[in-house]
Structure 1
Amino acid sequence: MKLLSTKSLAIAFAASVVSMSALAQNWPTKNVTVVVPWPPGGPSDIAARPWAKQLTEGLGKSFIIDNRAGGGGNIGTAAVVRAQPDGHTLLITSSAPIVINPSVYKNMTFDPLKDLAPVSNLLRVPLVLVAHPSVPAKNLKELIAHIQSKKGQFSYASSGAGTPQHLTGELFNSVQKLNMTHVPYKGSAPAISDLLGGHIPMMFDSTIAIMPHIKSGKVRPIAISSAKRSPLLPDVPTFAEAGIPAVESYAWYGLFAPAKTPAPVIAKINAETIKFMKSPEFEKIRADTGSDYVGDTPANFTKFVQAESAKWSKVAKQSGATVD
């Protein structure tokens, strides 16, 4: 009886492996909903829409972008968490709901590290510290001295509480003990508008959003948060070059599936995504946004997400940043 039981288990296991392999081979068997938990036209769409277009053309099923905004990305992300884990509901999002929101929102309905399966990073965009031309500082050392001279009466803007822009500002604030006041806006556009008008002196924003205003000379770039200089801003030093290596930060955008999606399905989605990321169309997107190539395996992307979660949890705790 014991031998029969072991044999039966082996047969059942083999059948399940064959079944999952068949599921992966046939994926997608129907149209795929791709939730972007932000309004249309935002940075996440820059990666999501061309990705969906290529997979639609290559796999014969429609990949439909569903912009489901609200709650700092939590509403759309929660919808994916609740979806069937069969590869037909996916998530493309910025880092906020994955590695920041759990530390700044008091009431989260899901745990991103447990309830989502990372597939691949798509874009990793550095943030630029920019100042209004009226700020009497041409470099980071002068800016720090200017902020310190204000003795707590200096503000910086971000595209919203709990965003990478906000937490990068808090990281800078904490590392340099600057005592700046955070002013959150509802998106990059209104924050940039107030910066251009001189109503707020400084902000962090992604190269995607701020580059046109740097090129026009309406804002002054002070430093960039990447590990090395950006080809888009070759004359702008990194924080590390300016003596503050702890301020390294990116606005990144990744692809996720619901937890418990079969590993072979995840592997196929990843393979199709990497194929897209090596296409000429995506090469141009990377060049235009200043992103490094960040296509990766699900295992490596999982490690990256875990490290980012630990990093921003520490920053949130030190700064006391909260949203609700």
Structure 2
Amino acid sequence: MTHLFRVLRQALALLALSTSMAFAQSAPWPVKPVKIYVGYPAGGLADVMARSVAQLMSESLGQPVVVDNKPGANGNLAAEFIAKQPADGYTLCLCSTVIESVNPFLYEKMGFDPLNDVLPVAATGRIQLFLVTKPSFPAANLNAFVAHAKSQSTPLTYGSAGAGSSPHLLAEMFKRSAGFSSTHVPYKGAAPAIQDLLAGHTDYMFDPGLSIPHIKAGKLKIYAVVSGSRSAVLPDTPTLAELGFKDLDYDTWFALYARTGTNPAIIAKINEATNKALADPSLKARYRELGAEGVPMSVSGIKAIATRERTAFGQLIRELNIKAD
């Protein structure tokens, strides 16, 4: 009798669990505001991107999507925060894919596991990088630029948004591929790096879009786009791949991340709402002003990008022994 009672009790427990799971999967979401923490300062490109997407997501989801900033450690602080929140889809972060592809190699200690504690749920856009110099730089095209760089007894200098940033890593990959030497000058962000290039304190840089108005005004000269496709803003500028550097076709990607364990149905809703926002004409126009592009993408597509970055950049960081500033 005792055995029968135990079997019945276990059966009832399993029934209750399955009923609870079925209810959780069918329960409406969202029923309260969704919060997006941006891993970078207010007013920056990622912040503007988050607020543009959030406004349109609110309309699709029927709940406010609130944006806040939690900058620091190249996006790590925001990702660590959501990794410690409930896996219910109400707390997300917007970070670059570098939190899982680059940061693990740059930082000796991270307060979360980027490959197991968080997962990308929707791409929010990509930023293309541009190889730019001063107008007075004595080279009319990329071949001439490389030839000039090789001829110098003192290496050229290039600025970047900081050690381990995408502009830094791609500049290192480019000079290796082209076969010349140059000296890295790291800055606390792309804006001061651009200002020093304009002032003539450095020779060139790989810029994430801030150079566009200066290029159009004739204050900077552009040689190439570091991407798999040409820029919609500067369509006459060839890509590095078109100019013979076949493996240098990387972009800086941003994505919404959720805590691992979030219900797949909720992830699908976030992905769908984000992709719908990226297709909106007003958002496309806003992104174009920023030199950005929204590319609707599946979760597996984002993971594939991060995996490719991790393989290429991780090896480079180890070889050069790059550490976070």
Q: Same fold (TM over 0.5)?
A: yes
Structure 1, unpaired ranges of 5+: none
CA distance in 2, matches of 1:155, 1:5: 73
For residue 285 of structure 1, report the CA deviation from its aligned partner.
3.0
Hey, what does 1:233 align to over in structure 2?
A: 234
Hey, what does 2:219 align to over in structure 1?
A: 218
Identity value in percent: 36
1:158 equivalent in alignment to 2:151: no
Hey, what does 2:187 align to over in structure 1?
A: 185
1:276 equivalent in alignment to 2:280: no
Hey, what does 1:115 align to over in structure 2?
A: 117
Question: TM-score under structure 2 normalisation?
Answer: 0.90
For residue 123 of structure 1, report the CA deviation from its aligned partner.
0.8
CA distance in 2, matches of 1:14, 1:275: 33
Hey, what does 1:76 align to over in structure 2?
A: 78
Letter of the structure 2 residue corresponding to residue 90 of structure 1? L
State the SS of the aligned residue for 2:115: helix
Hey, what does 1:194 align to over in structure 2?
A: 196
Hey, what does 2:177 align to over in structure 1?
A: 175
CA distance in 1, matches of 2:8, 2:181: 70
CA distance in 1, matches of 2:51, 2:232: 24
Hey, what does 2:324 align to over in structure 1?
A: 323
CA distance in 2, matches of 1:201, 1:296: 36
Residues 168-227 of structure 1, C-alpha deviation per residue, up to 9 Å, x if partnerless?
Answer: 1111122223222111111111111100000111011122x1101100111100111112
For residue 141 of structure 1, report the CA deviation from its aligned partner.
1.1
Greater mean deviation of Cα atoms: 45-54 or 121-130: 45-54
Q: How does 1:47-62 map to 2 (within 5 A)?
A: 47-62=49-64
State the SS of the aligned residue for 1:112: coil
Greater mean deviation of Cα atoms: 100-109 or 314-323: 314-323
For residue 57 of structure 1, report the CA deviation from its aligned partner.
3.7
State the SS of the aligned residue for 1:172: helix
Q: 2:25–2:263: 8 Å Cα contact kept in structure 1?
A: no
Hey, what does 2:95 align to over in structure 1?
A: 93
Runs of 4+ in 1 over 6 A off after TM superposition: 1-10
Cα–Cα, structure 1 residues 37 and 190, in superposed 2: closer, same or farther, change >3 Å? Answer: same
Hey, what does 1:130 align to over in structure 2?
A: 132
Cα–Cα, structure 1 residues 7 and 285, in superposed 2: closer, same or farther, change >3 Å? Answer: farther
CA distance in 2, matches of 1:186, 1:213: 20
Cα–Cα, structure 1 residues 297 and 5, in superposed 2: closer, same or farther, change >3 Å? Answer: farther
Hey, what does 1:20 align to over in structure 2?
A: 24
Cα–Cα, structure 1 residues 236 and 84, in superposed 2: closer, same or farther, change >3 Å? Answer: same
Please say which structure displays the higher CA radius of gyration: 2
CA distance in 1, matches of 2:24, 2:153: 61
Cα–Cα, structure 1 residues 6 and 185, in superposed 2: closer, same or farther, change >3 Å? Answer: same
CA distance in 1, matches of 2:231, 2:95: 23
Q: 2:87–2:258: 8 Å Cα contact kept in structure 1?
A: yes
CA distance in 2, matches of 1:65, 1:260: 22
State the SS of the aligned residue for 1:65: strand
Q: 1:152–1:178: 8 Å Cα contact kept in structure 2?
A: no
State the SS of the aligned residue for 2:211: helix
Q: How does 1:29-68 map to 2 (within 5 A)?
A: 29-68=31-70
Question: TM-score under structure 1 normalisation?
Answer: 0.90
For residue 72 of structure 1, report the CA deviation from its aligned partner.
2.1
State the SS of the aligned residue for 1:40: coil
Q: 2:240–2:246: 8 Å Cα contact kept in structure 1?
A: yes
Q: 1:152–1:181: 8 Å Cα contact kept in structure 2?
A: no
Residues 215-264 of structure 1, C-alpha deviation per residue, up to 9 Å, x if partnerless?
Answer: 01111001111122222112211111211112112111111111111111
Hey, what does 2:286 align to over in structure 1?
A: 285
